[in-house]
Amino acid sequence: MAHAAVAYAKQTRRRRAMVCTTSIGPGATNMVTAAALAHVNRLPVLFLPGDVYASRRPDPVLQQIEDFGDGTVSANDCFRPVSRYFDRLTRAEQILDALPKAMAILTDPAACGPVTLAFCQDVQAEAWHYPEDFFAPRLWRVRRAPADPYDLADLVVRVRAARRPLIIAGGGVLYAGAETALAELAAATGIPVAETQAGKGALPWDHPCNLGAIGVTGSGVANAAAAEADLVIGIGTRLQDFTTGSRALFQGAARTLVQVNVSAHDAAKQGAVGVVGDAGAVLAGLAPLLAGWRVPADWARSLAAPALAWDEAWGAATAAPKEYANKGGGAALPTDAQVLGAVWRQAAPDAVVVCAAGGLPGELHKLWRVRRPGGYHVEYGYSCMGYEIAGGLGVKLAEPEREVHVLVGDGSYLMMNSEIATAVMLGLSLIITVLDNRGFGCINRLQCATGGAPFNNLLADTRHTALPAIDFAAHAASLGARALKVADIAGLEAALAQARAQARAGGGVHVIVIDTDPAVSTPAGGAWWDVAVPEVSDRPAVREARAVYDEKTKGQR
């Protein structure tokens, strides 16, 4: 429920939000993960978990946590660090104060995030004489704060003096509705644009200035530009380590970092020159001040070859394989990139792709080409397993007219899948592709890359008497979905086409299962990620990985 609410808020660009209610116990604490996800991603959700009796008459009530040293402690205190605003309602009239404060947070571009109002069970049932005007409809406007004129003028000077400027578009561009302003500014000035996970889709994939994804899961051309840029302008990004290559990506000798952000907290990160303001307002202010100016021609020419190389790498990674023979003579399993290539080819132009944790978000960030605004919905701020199907449900509720494709691994599917039944119940159409690599392939690859031996990530490497033969298609069918398993990419494309046709005809949830290779990810593109390696180990592979790690950390700024 809470994950669907988060996805709903994200897909509506923070213009709408949901309320989630639960009991005092596991229903409440089950929402803490979603609250953390919403907090990291700056998304509005109102949580109303039940709480202890304010009167304490029947204490301890069912599901109540008892702290031996503090009578005021409740399990709902878990929400405090993952809520932008927290309150506990112990009297009925406190609603008059709490709800306006909650709305102020939910609609504030800088402070936006989850709000928790823990609601004592006995207080929920109390009557109180509320003033009628409290229930009158009220319009809450989302502020679009302009930048300080001095900061804007300083940014203009820096841009005009730059030889190799680069814009990094973050989620703030989308939440400000500034895609058109960014596209026009980039076209007019020639400044290349790279995109974060949250900002992907700020420009259509074929905009001449769009370099694609940046960072650890970035395109080759975007990361090449980041390494050479003398002016990096982040717009609406919080500079997560995946964006900055763990602060080792921007290597220009005279590099200046400027952060345009509605939040002063984000604008001041990593020693940046801060420009505090709404992304749309700042872009609108920049346009006339940069009229007639364009980037030096040699900057654009220097990116032409990396752009061509990346386009070729994209085609090679996502193309349907011509044959499936592996070295052992058997059928080779498709890669994640080949699967998402098939989904991309079959998806409607305005389709929305939904994903979250594991290796898939990295492949999508690199390789998915966004055709229409809002077509890319990947939760990677919290990298939350289990978000995928629930998130797809929330996206479909937000935009029921759009085709929604959920990409999910077998591990995340096993963690959370019940929203299939919910979507069937609500008559919503989802197309879910389950990539079964028989374990957690992404973490297994990371484990091996840091010198470790495969352990406990792929099912075959776990302690077992017999490996489970999980029939995901049969399971999805038992929840009411139309489900089938396909053998290869050709079968997947045929099944996707059939699912789309059936969805247009009568809706329904469609689940397509395909086995994939757990060992392969797209080698092109990408950047270093700071994953600590043990300093001391008996394993030569770990010592070698540590030596590489020590060398890479020297490039961090």
Q: What is the pLDDT of residues 271-304, one digit of tens each?
A: 999 999 999 999 999 999 999 999 999 999 999 9
Given a contact cutoff of 8 angstroms between Cβ atoms, the answer to whether 496 and 351 are in contact is: no
Query: Which has the closest alpha carbon to 171: 230, 112, 83?
Result: 112
Residue 550, number of CB atoms within 10 A of its CB? 11
User: How much of the chain exceeds pLDDT 70, in percent?
Assistant: 98
User: Looking at the predicted structure, is the pLDDT value of residue 364 above 60?
Assistant: yes
Q: Binning pLDDT at 50, 70 and 90, where does residue 417 land?
A: very high
Contacts of 268 by beta carbon, 8 Å cutoff, 6+ apart: 259, 274
Given a contact cutoff of 8 angstroms between Cβ atoms, the answer to whether 508 and 425 are in contact is: no
User: Looking at the predicted structure, is the pLDDT value of residue 90 above 50?
Assistant: yes
* Residue 437: per-residue pLDDT: 96
Terminal alpha carbon distance of the chain: 41
466: left (phi over 0), alpha (psi -120 to 50) or beta: beta
| Distance in angstroms (rounded) separating the CA atoms of residues 421 and 476 | 9
pLDDT tens, position by position, 373-403? 999 999 999 999 999 999 999 999 999 999 9
Average pLDDT value for the chain: 95
Helices 179-189 and 279-289: angle between axes, nearest 10 degrees: 30
| Distance in angstroms (rounded) separating the CA atoms of residues 216 and 528 | 6
Q: Binning pLDDT at 50, 70 and 90, where does residue 124 land?
A: very high
| Distance in angstroms (rounded) separating the CA atoms of residues 507 and 499 | 9
DSSP state of 230: S
User: How much of the chain exceeds pLDDT 90, in percent?
Assistant: 96
* Residue 31: per-residue pLDDT: 97
E-strand ranges in 423-466 read 430-436
User: Looking at the predicted structure, is the pLDDT value of residue 76 above 50?
Assistant: yes
Report how far apart, in Å, the C-alpha atoms of 481 and of each of 7, 390, 474, 485, 513 are: 21, 15, 9, 13, 12
* Residue 331: per-residue pLDDT: 64
Higher pLDDT, 506 or 364: 364
Query: Which has the closest alpha carbon to 379: 112, 7, 12?
Result: 7
43: left (phi over 0), alpha (psi -120 to 50) or beta: beta
Report how far apart, in Å, the C-alpha atoms of 412 and of each of 388, 406, 407 are: 8, 12, 10
pLDDT tens, position by position, 314-360? 999 999 987 544 445 456 899 999 999 999 999 999 999 999 999 99
Strands 352-355 and 404-409: parallel
Q: Which residues pair with 46 in a beta bridge?
A: 19, 115
Angle at 197 (CA atoms; ends 361, 205), nearest 5 degrees: 95
| Distance in angstroms (rounded) separating the CA atoms of residues 426 and 420 | 10
Q: Which helix (H) or strand (E) holds 424?
A: helix 419-426
Q: Binning pLDDT at 50, 70 and 90, where does residue 209 land?
A: very high
Residue 236, number of CB atoms within 10 A of its CB? 31
Q: How far is CA 67 from the centre of its chain?
A: 36
Residue with structure tokens 């346009």? 287
Contacts of 502 by beta carbon, 8 Å cutoff, 6+ apart: 482, 508, 510
Cα R_g (the chain), whole angstroms: 25
Strand, coil or helix: what is 534? Answer: coil
User: Looking at the predicted structure, is the pLDDT value of residue 270 above 50?
Assistant: yes
User: Looking at the predicted structure, is the pLDDT value of residue 528 above 50?
Assistant: yes
* Residue 504: per-residue pLDDT: 86
Q: What is the mean pLDDT of residues 209-216?
A: 98
Lowest mean pLDDT among 1-15, 66-80, 494-508: 494-508
Report all structural domains of the chain as residue ranges with CATH numbers, in order of start. 2-135 (3.40.50.970), 149-309 (3.40.50.1220), 319-515 (3.40.50.970)
User: Looking at the predicted structure, is the pLDDT value of residue 458 above 60?
Assistant: yes
Sign of the C-alpha dihedral, residues 340, 343, 348, 353? Answer: negative
- Maximum alpha-carbon separation in the chain: 78
* Residue 323: per-residue pLDDT: 58
Q: What is the mean pLDDT of residues 157-182?
A: 97
Sign of the C-alpha dihedral, residues 218, 221, 226, 227? Answer: positive
